[in-house]
Chain A
Amino acid sequence: MGAAVLSVSGLSKTFPGVRALDGVDFTARAGEVHALIGENGAGKSTLIKVLTGVYRPDPAAEPGTGVITYDGSQVEFATPLAAQHAGISTIYQEVNLVPLMSVARNLFLGREPRGRLGLIDFRRMHREAEQALGGLGVRVDVRRPLRELGVGAQQMVALARAVAVDARVVIMDEPTSSLEPREVATLFGVIRMLRARGIAVLYVSHRLDELYEVCDTVTVLRDGRSVHSGPIAALDRLRLVSLMLGRDVGDVREEGLTKFSGSHDTEAQPILEAQDLTVRHQLRGVSLAIRPGEVVGLGGLLGSGRSETAKAIAGALPPDSGRVVVAGVPVRTGSTPAAIRAGVSLLPEDRKAEGIVPGLSVRENIALAALPGLSRFGLVDEARIDRVVDTFMKRLRIKASGPHQKVGELSGGNQQKVLLARWLAMNPKVLLLDEPTRGIDVGAKAEVQKLIDELADDGLGVLLISSDVEELIEGSDRVVVLKDGAVVEELTGDAVTEDRLMRAIAAAPAAQATTAAPGGDDD
């Protein structure tokens, strides 16, 4: 194993109110592919941003900690450009190139070969671009605009650009999330080539199969700390998953830590059936059923297709194929109003961006979806809205200075309750709850959990997505486990345990263990 190229020790980064990184230790060595993994909010992206000069780390509490060591000396990158010049290249999830410029211009952006008079030497640029891409096994016309290339080829251009600048460290943030299996294979070839050249590769991904295929070492982040670092071969999948989720396998826990009560009656006919939902690169034939009065959990790691499943059912993500049937009647997919009319409502994961309308009052937010029903001839019936708003503010115990306070000023928990009230005012049949308790304080969390329970008791079908394993296990009557956009297991009855959930997530792919990539069998 090569020498340490880039390392940090005791690195912390604090944002107002949040400690994103809390004493992280991490070392990337030359000629090694280093996996960086962790669930949502573990601090991966913050760490990458600190390493690449986007953020500054917190000042060190004691000497020798909180510093970045690059190539044997202590550094502090003032800007992303400085990090790039020093030899740290980053390929982001979203390709950050200029789509309208030619492939060659993109490759040489900012360092174009100049001829006489300082003009760009296009002939040389095109020749060198072809060589650089050819070296990665990519054959394209470098004179064409970049946007005409497929996403995979664009990613290769980004990679070629990263390598061409004499990088010593290449950071890849979920590089395979939009690649076809063949492209993934090419990418892995390139990664191995980089490793052979003595470059340190930092690889961020949620796909366990990929990690085991291409990575040498792994660092697991959780809640802003590095909880494990070492060779990936020494770590079995189950152990890796339990490190990420922070739960021990086989560890018997006492129940009742959450506010969920026991199970619900689950004998009735399904109120909602999703059949073979498929979305390119995201979902591969997901099917599930929800019965009235039942809480169905959706388990899986980040990026396994949990939110996408909920969005596809709610009409917010048009599926390429598949059906959604509510109470025996098929619902037009890809239309939110159609889903809502059928009685399916989604509490989105990103509450602030997709849920609340921050500038409007509590009252307007609650009445938003139900507005047509609360109006006559297009005129709003204020008295009826007042009654509805009053009912739900009391029932959900929404704490606000009054119905006219702006929702943007409320706490996270109360915002979430406002959104719940918005949907309950529609008398839904099925509620899809995507991370309903994320980012809200403990007290409000318990209240929301209790509320979910009550709603199920009232006969609603509930789909619960949660990264909190405890919440998922205790809150759900059944758990459907997703992996790489497909259902891998369904836990029912006594099998709804943390242990079984983690085993299901960690399970190796069934048949072929070759280039295990999502979308491997599209048809």
Chain B
Amino acid sequence: MSILVDKNTRVICQGITGKTGLFHSQQCRAYGTPFFGGVTPGKGGTEVDGFPVFDSVDEAVRKTGANCSLIFVPPGGCGDAILEAAAAGITLIVAITEGVPVLDMVRTADVLASKFPKSRLIGPNCPGIITPGIAKIGIMPGYIHKPGPVGLVSKSGTLTYEAAWQLGNVGLGQSTAIGIGGDPIIGTNFIDALTLFEADPQTEAMLMIGEIGGNAEIKAAEFIKASIKKPVAAFIAGQTAPPGKRMGHAGAIISGGSGTAEEKIAALEAAGVVVSRSPADMGKALVEAIARKK
């Protein structure tokens, strides 16, 4: 078992004729992901490296039975691409695009919630989702993720790879790893991912990686305390970040004295989560979280 992605997932890529879109579609296909082509308006009927190209998501869904879309379109068109996918009945939308205007995401998330409740969005500005050994829908290096019992959810890309690698060092693979993205407005959040992992029989423990900015980690801590029975470990990046400065991710900013790593760590610890202070100890923290629950 796993969450969101399994053998029945059928993937297409929006923006497949772009350099990045094509490269990662090839990488996903090479990993074994069931990949059925892509969409670029105006290039329908052509083919790139064996992938059929369609003019619209609607056409791609009708002709391939796709139920998942991986989005690489430029920032200005990302919100539109997400809604096109949802309108065509795609149930899992993974938006990798970085730099989407915040108000575009406000509008997109609003329409998704009100008109397309069956479509789940992951991202934008995220590495994607992987169920090791089954399907990779994103830009992560597949080989570092081994199948196993840990549900991994993270705001950051390379820090997720670091975590997966550390988990491998302590003999723990992942049921599914999700990068939810570092933007202020995102589709799937920590609580959504934790809920799915809690219900997934393969997942025995969870590792959550957050960062400064906003209060998603604090909301997640309250949720964990109330509703999560499985062991949870966490790491929060940005303990040394200065206030008022954006640290790479659009959402990673301490504003008005709130959104600090300290307050997030305190909330998570109060919820019984084992929080690793060092990014080198994420794997160890998870082992400790599992041991504590035994």
Do A and B assemble together? no
B residues with a Cβ closer than 8 A to A are none
A residues with a Cβ closer than 8 A to B are none
